[in-house]
Structure 1
């Protein structure tokens, strides 16, 4: 499974908003400068995050974007599900009917189990975890 840029950048945006959390909305241009994501791509990413209730947008000269949930309640798994539509290694994990062989497929169980393990791991990490100790996520674990 390869995460799309949308999922990775959504995580980066939410982390940026959480790190700079205040009552003052962050303008898209400031988000772009601090994250390295283009304004146009940020605008595409913000739509599903707003719809999911993770952020709110304020219009006007002093407008921008504010995190609308506590960072400890936003899991990386939630972000991936919002941006990717799910956490599944194959299409047949989410929809058995997509393949005529699903009922007898000996490998499908591997994909279902692996998808579940990945989802549990991503759900165990919150934006607050990344804020507090990003170095605790070692590649050697």
Structure 2
């Protein structure tokens, strides 16, 4: 599985917002783009998806911007990947066996299912708050 730029940049956006979460001050898109080296147009698209998911909210006005709508310790990397990748399974037949003529009795299907579960169990353990401190290691 190769994560898309959406997932990687989405996580970086959330980490940047998490760094400023305790201040209660929103960050402008231009500031997030500069701090995380993400193209502004692309960042705006990702912020929109994060807003629609309820993870980020917008604050209007001259000192407006974006702020986390959820505490960073309540956002997992697994949630981010699910949001931006659009499907949870590593292979389609896990969730939709009718997509493969060999799904019934397939020896690989169970292995793919277990690999998917292990991947997301690991990603769900990593919280955005865990990624904000550059000196702290992730267990």
Question: Taking structure 1 as the reference length, what is the TM-score of the superposition?
Answer: 0.91
Of 69-78 and 58-67, the range deviating more from structure 2: 58-67
CA RMSD, Structure 1 to Structure 2 (Å) = 1.6
SS in 2 for 1:25: coil
Q: Which runs of 5+ in 1 are unaligned?
A: none
1:75-100: per-residue Cα shift (whole Å, max 9, x none)? 00011111112332111122212112
Matched residues in 1 for 2:90 and 2:50: separation?
23
1:81-136: per-residue Cα shift (whole Å, max 9, x none)? 11112332111122212112111211111111000000100001101111246652
Residue aligning to 1:69: 70
Residue aligning to 1:32: 33
Question: Taking structure 2 as the reference length, what is the TM-score of the superposition?
Answer: 0.92
Of 94-103 and 127-136, the range deviating more from structure 2: 127-136
SS in 2 for 1:107: helix
Matched residues in 2 for 1:126 and 1:134: separation?
15
**1:41-80 alignment, distance < 5 Å:** 41-80=42-81
Of 21-30 and 70-79, the range deviating more from structure 2: 21-30
Aligned length: 138
Of 55-64 and 9-18, the range deviating more from structure 2: 55-64
CA positional deviation for 1:66: 0.4
